[in-house]
């Protein structure tokens, strides 16, 4: 008799509908690869009324999650509810019933990952979470399997499509942040509450998971330095272009001896940098392995079909392990459980990189020398200066880029500079990555 893997789906929203649709459309090819077909036996959602425009075939639809959790025929539970609670309880309960789990829930894993992974170990079940980072892009599998032979030197990622869409339009069409955000919301690219995206929280969730797997560490979300894009002024986008850079919200992880540097902030990268051409709502992850060298993954990090692609590939992986009667071939966190350590993050003060500053200063004799004098006294070496447009009154922008400098020196120098009576506004600072500043 034809073999069937029975699935329970909790959460019948956009991604849930994508999973139902994908399995219906691609079950034949999946069966050829897996040797069994996938059957969504039960779907649970609070809202049984809303039309989903996908055929649910023979699935039972219920508003009771326990119809899935208490069904011994269901071996894999797909959690697509999102958020922390009750999603966490659904996953823990499913594991206690010895069911494997697949989830796309980055917030949950970034917050309670350790507890959930330990539960999975204790119950000897598997949990797939490829969809939690980078949608269709095979980030998790790449770290856990394809790069398993490497020390991962660094990860640079554009991990949020909404921010990348906004930054692309600000750059290409010279539009202000608020206008692009409003349009993105109108078109449905950005959430009604875009805070998670534009403040870099969604990126932090993805970086936390990426870091944990790349280095075998327990990461606390709040330890990751984070700046979003909402304060970005289009003048800086324009100056960046004049200097040969594009601004991206980058998530950065770099191995520094025993410590790891982890930060998220708007970043200038040169036009010829690989990540510079990742535009619109696309995501990309750039890994540097000590033997693999540079590896770039690019694709769609969100949306119904791309996310469903990752969810169903996890289901297939787990089903293959079930078929071989192993509960899990690859460790959940890429490292053996007893090797996972707490992370030691490099203090942001000790980060060294290149900087862009925009001072708002009066155009008077001696201004540049005062500013550069303070920078020099903090060991900050200037790489280039732009000053345009003399105004009769008020401030003019004075733009400088620096050679590699230490964050603590930069912070102290800017504090001093911002107190000068020739400086009108708080100085804008944007970090520069991807090559020595000329
Ligand atoms: N809102 C995210 C983005 C997708 O814009 O990339 C889900 O993580």
Segments making up each domain of the chain, as ranges: 4-136+304-335, 139-300, 349-432
CA 113/CA 130 separation, integer angstroms: 14
Q: Are 108 and 83 in contact (CB under 8 A)?
A: yes
Q: Ligand 1 pocket: which residues have CB below 6 Å? A: 160-162, 197, 202, 301-302
The band of 3, judged by pLDDT with boundaries at 50, 70 and 90, is very high
Atom of ligand 1 nearest to the CA of 162: 5
Mention every residue, 6+ apart, whose C-beta is less than 8 A from residue 270.
Answer: 244, 245, 276, 434, 435
Residue 351 Cα to ligand 1 middle (Å): 27
Beta strands 4-10; 76-79: pairing state: parallel
Give the residues across from 267 on adjacent strands.
Answer: 248, 431
Give the residues across from 212 on adjacent strands.
Answer: none
CATH number of 4-136+304-335: 3.40.50.720
CA 37/CA 33 separation, integer angstroms: 10
**What tens digit of pLDDT does each residue of 232-280 get?**
999 999 999 999 999 999 999 999 999 999 999 999 999 999 999 999 9
Atom of ligand 1 nearest to the CA of 205: 8
CA 9/CA 61 separation, integer angstroms: 9
Note the pLDDT of residue 438. Answer: 45
Please check whether the two domains, 139-300 and 349-432, share a CATH topology: no
Mention every residue, 6+ apart, whose C-beta is less than 8 A from residue 258.
Answer: 344
Note the pLDDT of residue 132. Answer: 97
Probe target for ligand 1 pocket from 301, 305, 310, with the most ligand atoms within 8 Å of CB: 301
**What tens digit of pLDDT does each residue of 74-92 get?**
999 999 999 999 999 999 9
State which CATH number among 3.30.1490.20, 3.30.360.10, 3.20.20.30, 3.40.710.10 fits the domain covering 139-300.
3.30.360.10
CA 118/CA 313 separation, integer angstroms: 23
CATH number of 349-432: 3.30.70.260
For residue 198, give the H/E element and its range: helix 195-198
The band of 369, judged by pLDDT with boundaries at 50, 70 and 90, is very high
**What tens digit of pLDDT does each residue of 189-206 get?**
788 889 999 999 999 999
For residue 332 the two structure tokens come to: 């959940």
Residue 419 Cα to ligand 1 middle (Å): 39
**What tens digit of pLDDT does each residue of 134-155 get?**
999 999 999 999 999 999 999 9
Atom of ligand 1 nearest to the CA of 301: 6
Secondary structure (DSSP) of 201-258: HHHHHHHHHHHHHHHTEE--GGGSEE--STT--HHHHHHHHHHTEEEEEEEEEEEETT
Residue 314 Cα to ligand 1 middle (Å): 19
Catalytic residues: 206
CA 45/CA 12 separation, integer angstroms: 6
Probe target for ligand 1 pocket from 165, 302, 306, 308, with the most ligand atoms within 8 Å of CB: 302
Q: Are 130 and 314 in contact (CB under 8 A)?
A: yes
Specify the DSSP class assigned to residue 275: G
Q: Are 10 and 68 in contact (CB under 8 A)?
A: yes
For residue 20 the two structure tokens come to: 């139902």
For residue 65, give the H/E element and its range: none
For residue 240 the two structure tokens come to: 């960046």
Residue 115 Cα to ligand 1 middle (Å): 24
Probe target for ligand 1 pocket from 107, 157, 160, with the most ligand atoms within 8 Å of CB: 160
CA 158/CA 164 separation, integer angstroms: 7
Does the pLDDT value for residue 393 go beyond 80? Answer: no
Residue 260 Cα to ligand 1 middle (Å): 25
Atom of ligand 1 nearest to the CA of 197: 1
């Amino acid at each position: 008799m034809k073999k069937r893997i029975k699935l329970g789906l909790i959460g019948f929203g956009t991604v849930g509908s994508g999973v139902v649709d994908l399995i219906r459309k691609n079950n034949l090819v999946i069966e050829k690869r897996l040797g069994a077909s996938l059957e969504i036996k039960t779907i649970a959602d609070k809202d049984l009324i809303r039309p989903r425009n996908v055929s649910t075939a023979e699935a039972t639809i219920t508003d009771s999650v326990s119809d899935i959790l208490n069904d011994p025929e269901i071996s894999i539970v797909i959690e697509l509810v999102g958020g922390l609670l009750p999603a966490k309880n659904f996953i823990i309960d499913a594991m206690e019933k010895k069911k494997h789990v697949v989830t796309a829930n980055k917030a949950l894993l970034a917050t309670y990952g350790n507890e959930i992974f330990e539960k999975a170990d204790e119950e000897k079940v598997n949990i797939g979470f490829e969809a939690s980072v980078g949608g269709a892009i095979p980030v998790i599998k790449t770290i856990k399997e394809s790069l398993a032979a490497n020390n991962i030197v660094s990860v640079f990622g554009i991990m949020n499509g909404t921010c990348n869409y906004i930054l692309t339009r600000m750059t290409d069409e010279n539009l202000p942040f608020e206008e692009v955000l409003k349009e993105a919301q109108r078109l449905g690219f950005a959430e009604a509450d875009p805070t998670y995206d534009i403040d870099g929280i969604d990126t932090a969730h993805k970086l936390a998971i990426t870091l944990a797997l790349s280095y075998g560490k327990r990461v606390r979300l709040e330890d990751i330095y984070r700046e979003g894009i909402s304060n970005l002024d289009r003048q800086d986008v324009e100056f960046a272009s004049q200097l040969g850079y594009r601004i991206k919200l980058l998530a950065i992880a770099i191995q520094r001896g025993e410590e790891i540097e982890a930060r998220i902030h708007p970043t200038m990268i040169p036009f010829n940098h690989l990540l510079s051409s990742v535009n619109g709502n696309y995501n990309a992850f750039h890994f540097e392995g000590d033997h693999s060298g540079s590896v770039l993954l690019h694709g769609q990090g969100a949306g119904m079909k791309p996310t469903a692609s990752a969810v169903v590939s996890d289901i297939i992986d787990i089903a293959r392990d079930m078929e071989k009667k192993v509960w899990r071939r690859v460790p959940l966190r890429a490292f053996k459980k007893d090797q996972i350590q707490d992370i030691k993050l490099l203090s942001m003060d000790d980060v060294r990189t290149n900087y862009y500053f925009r001072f708002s200063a009066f155009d008077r004799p001696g201004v540049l020398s005062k500013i550069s004098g303070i920078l020099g006294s903090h060991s900050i070496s200037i790489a280039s200066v732009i000053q345009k447009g003399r105004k009769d009154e008020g401030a003019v922008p004075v733009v400088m880029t620096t050679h590699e400098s230490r964050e603590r020196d930069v912070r102290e120098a800017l504090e001093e500079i911002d107190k000068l009576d020739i400086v009108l506004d708080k100085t804008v600072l944007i970090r520069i990555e991807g090559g020595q500043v000329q």
